[in-house]
Amino acid sequence: MEALSLVVSRLQQCQRVVVFTGAGVSAESAIPTFRDALTGLWSRFDPARLASPEGFLSDPDLVWGWYEWRRRKALLAEPNPAHLAIARLLPLVPELTLITQNVDNLHERAGNQHLLRLHGSLHQPRCFNCATPYPLPEGIPDEPEGGRRLTPPRCARCSGPIRPGVVWFGESLPETIWQQAEQATNQCDLLFSIGTSSLVWPAAQLPFQAKQHGATVVQINPNGTSLDPVADFNLHGPAGFILPQIVNALAEEPLQR
């Protein structure tokens, strides 16, 4: 594939690379996307009811049960070739920043220990009232009773309800993490946008921002998105198929720096 070879050639000349990932990467590990997770027992619920502070206060058992169901799905899944390829890319470029919208922890399990989680993590819940982190028990949680409701634990510090450690509708992204993501984006030579629909803002602005600052933008996605006209390379297909090819080729070629 000529485009793939050109991407590898660009990578050989880069000092700073950003990898920006969305739900499509984890979908190849059979992790349902946010919308896809609203199926079966969950299909009759409004997303805002399951992913907002107001929804949690209204029915904490419902919301906690849904997120424990999602966390169980994540823990039962395995990192796929895309996750592993990104981890292999790290030592092949001088500087790499991994920015993700995903909350499932599969990047970490693939070996990417330093990443910017824009939307938080299913595995780092905290108190709704005082934000004290809550240590989850080890192991895979049981299926929530009845497939739905599960009473959230209480905070040891203030007895407030424990909430999922993700960013909900109406909440801001973590300020420090967002600043780091913008800085890395503005300074990178090349940005990969992988498995993201380019619809969830403000995260979706990062590839456009990279382009405005002169970076090469490479999109890897099975389907077209609003980023297509902006990206320098649109590699349409599964990330788990395309990314290993790029990393393998880069590993075999001598650096041109």
Q: What pLDDT score does 182 carry?
A: 98
Contact 25, 83 (CB under 8 A): yes
Is 180 in a helix, a strand, or coil?
helix
Higher-confidence position of 2 and 211: 211
149 pLDDT more than 90: no
What pLDDT, on the 0 to 100 scale, is given for residue 142? Answer: 80
Query: What is the model's pLDDT at position 138?
Result: 85
Per-residue tokens: 26:
């984890």
User: How confident is the model at residue 164, as a pLDDT?
Assistant: 98
Where is pLDDT greater, at 167 or 2?
167
CA 98/CA 107 separation, integer angstroms: 9
Fold assignment, 32-76+121-166: SIR2/SIRT2 'Small Domain' (3.30.1600)
CB-hemisphere CA count at 13 Å for 59? 15
Q: Find out whether 118 and 181 touch, Cβ atoms under 8 Å.
A: yes
Spatial separation of the C-alpha atoms in residues 211 and 171, rounded to whole Å: 27
Top pLDDT among 42 and 27 is at: 27
**pTM (2 decimals)?**
0.93
How many other CB atoms sit within 10 Å of the CB of residue 221? Answer: 25
Fold of the 1-30+79-119+173-257 domain: Rossmann fold (3.40.50)
pLDDT in tens, 101-125: 999 999 999 999 899 999 999 999 9
Q: Delimit the domains of the chain by residue range.
A: 1-30+79-119+173-257, 32-76+121-166
Tell me phi and psi for residue 145, to 5 degrees: -55, 130
Q: Which of 132, 200, 119 is nearest to 162 (CA)?
A: 132
The pLDDT value recorded for residue 43 is: 60
Residue 19 — φ and ψ, nearest 5°?
-115, 120
Span 190-217, pLDDT tens digits: 999 999 988 888 999 999 999 999 999 9
* Choice among 119, 123, 213, 236 that is catalytic: 119
3-class DSSP state of 219: strand
Reply yes or no on whether 119 is catalytic: yes
Q: What pLDDT was estimated at residue 257?
A: 46
The pair of three-digit structure tokens given for residue 173, joined into one six-digit string:
């992204």
